[in-house]
């Protein structure tokens, strides 16, 4: 070993130890526990073979993808608007939008129930208007609403920071060539915000994959992976399955994000 690489190894050692102790070891342990059940590797294959687990994986992925898409659309529009237009109360509004960051999932769930639950505001209004009481808090729709609500603050600040760096001359150049407002959005603003969308979307997606508190507050019927893990772990005491599902949840999320980043990679580099 040369002197330089020796020194480099020494310098990297603390980070390496930390990484091993708090990431690799627990993950390996989790993976190992997944194999200790009586079904062995079956705990891992169950995610595809067991109809219930598989459907919960699919619905979790669907929910996370829908949440990410909705959040990016809302934060994209709102973020660019808030960055471009200075009006009285602008700062206060931005601060308020980031408010939900501090709420635990339970509080978000509670708010969804107050809005769309059996005694909720939406139900009252809809009964008054049509006679039918609309209640969707205890389903995927309620969960989706809660997730979008707490994802917006995570993405809107990133979008605003990126919108500030957009070159207004690019938009003027596009317009001088005959681009309508909509074309400018499509050809200049969205490509310009793409790196921000990817990083904010990744955080949003991962959070929605693993969020638990809101689902737990809303209903026991909701079939998302974190709820299944919780049920397996505490109610069924099926620790090996819970561990295997946890590992799969992490792995699937990682794969989706890696694919998304690779697919966007070439254009992101080009935007530099």
The least CB distance from residue 262 to other proteins, in Å, is 17
Could you give the CA distance from residue 112 to residue 209 in angstroms, rounded to a whole number? 19
Q: Which residues touch 136 (CB under 8 Å, ≥6 apart)? A: 116, 122, 142, 145
Instruction: Output DSSP code: residue 186.
Output: I
Residue 193 near other proteins by CB under 8 A: no
**Nearest of 215, 103, 206 to residue 153 by alpha carbon:** 103
Q: Please say which residue, 154 or 194, places its beta carbon nearer to other proteins.
A: 194
Residue 124 near other proteins by CB under 8 A: no
Residue 88 near other proteins by CB under 8 A: no
By CB under 8 A, name the one of 167, 234, 254, 255 that touches other proteins: 167
Question: Which of the ranges 1-9, 67-75, 183-191, 204-212 carries the binding residues for other proteins, by CB under 8 A?
Answer: 183-191
By CB under 8 A, name the one of 133, 154, 175, 261 that touches other proteins: 175
By CB under 8 A, name the one of 36, 90, 119, 267 that touches other proteins: 267
The least CB distance from residue 65 to other proteins, in Å, is 24
Q: Please say which residue, 133 or 194, places its beta carbon nearer to other proteins.
A: 194
Residue 178 near other proteins by CB under 8 A: yes
Alpha helices in the chain (DSSP H): 3-19, 25-35, 42-49, 51-84, 90-97, 105-116, 121-130, 140-165, 168-176, 181-184, 190-210, 213-218, 225-230, 239-271
Residue 174 near other proteins by CB under 8 A: yes
Could you give the CA distance from residue 207 to residue 190 in angstroms, rounded to a whole number? 23
Question: Which of the ranges 142-150, 177-185, 203-211, 227-235 carries the binding residues for other proteins, by CB under 8 A?
Answer: 177-185
Question: Which of the ranges 46-54, 171-179, 201-209, 255-263 carries the binding residues for other proteins, by CB under 8 A?
Answer: 171-179
Could you give the CA distance from residue 12 to residue 6 in angstroms, rounded to a whole number? 10
Could you give the CA distance from residue 244 to residue 249 in angstroms, rounded to a whole number? 9
Question: Which of the ranges 91-99, 118-126, 153-161, 175-183 carries the binding residues for other proteins, by CB under 8 A?
Answer: 175-183
The least CB distance from residue 173 to other proteins, in Å, is 4
Between helices 51-84 and 42-49, what is the axis angle to 10°?
70
**Nearest of 145, 189, 195 to residue 167 by alpha carbon:** 189
The least CB distance from residue 89 to other proteins, in Å, is 18
Residues that bind other proteins (CB under 8 A): 167, 169-170, 172-180, 183, 187-188, 191-192, 194, 267, 270-272
């Amino acid at each position: 070993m040369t002197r330089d690489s020796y020194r480099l190894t020494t310098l990297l050692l603390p980070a390496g130890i930390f990484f091993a102790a708090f990431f690799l070891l627990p993950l390996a342990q989790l993976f190992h526990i997944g194999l200790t059940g009586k079904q062995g590797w079956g705990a891992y294959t169950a995610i595809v073979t067991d109809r219930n687990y598989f459907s919960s994986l699919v619905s979790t992925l669907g929910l996370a993808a829908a949440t990410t898409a909705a959040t990016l659309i809302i934060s994209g529009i709102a973020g660019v608007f808030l960055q471009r237009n200075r009006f009285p109360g602008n700062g206060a509004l931005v601060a308020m939008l980031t408010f939900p960051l501090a709420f635990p999932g339970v509080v978000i769930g509670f708010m969804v129930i107050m809005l769309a639950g059996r005694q909720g505001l939406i139900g009252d209004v809809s009964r008054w208007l049509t006679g039918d009481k609309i209640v969707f808090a205890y389903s995927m729709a309620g969960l989706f609403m809660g997730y979008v609500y707490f994802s917006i603050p995570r993405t809107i600040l990133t979008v605003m920071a990126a919108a500030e760096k957009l070159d207004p001359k690019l938009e003027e150049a596009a317009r001088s060539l005959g681009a309508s407002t909509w074309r400018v959005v499509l050809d200049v603003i969205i490509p310009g915000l793409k790196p921000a969308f990817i990083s904010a979307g990744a955080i949003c997606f991962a959070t929605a994959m693993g969020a638990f508190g809101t689902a737990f507050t809303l209903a026991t019927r909701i079939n998302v992976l974190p709820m299944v893990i919780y049920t397996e772990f505490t109610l069924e005491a099926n620790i090996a399955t819970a561990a295997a599902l946890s590992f799969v949840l992490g792995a699937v999320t990682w794969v989706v994000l890696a694919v998304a980043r690779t697919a966007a990679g070439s254009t992101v580099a080009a935007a530099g």
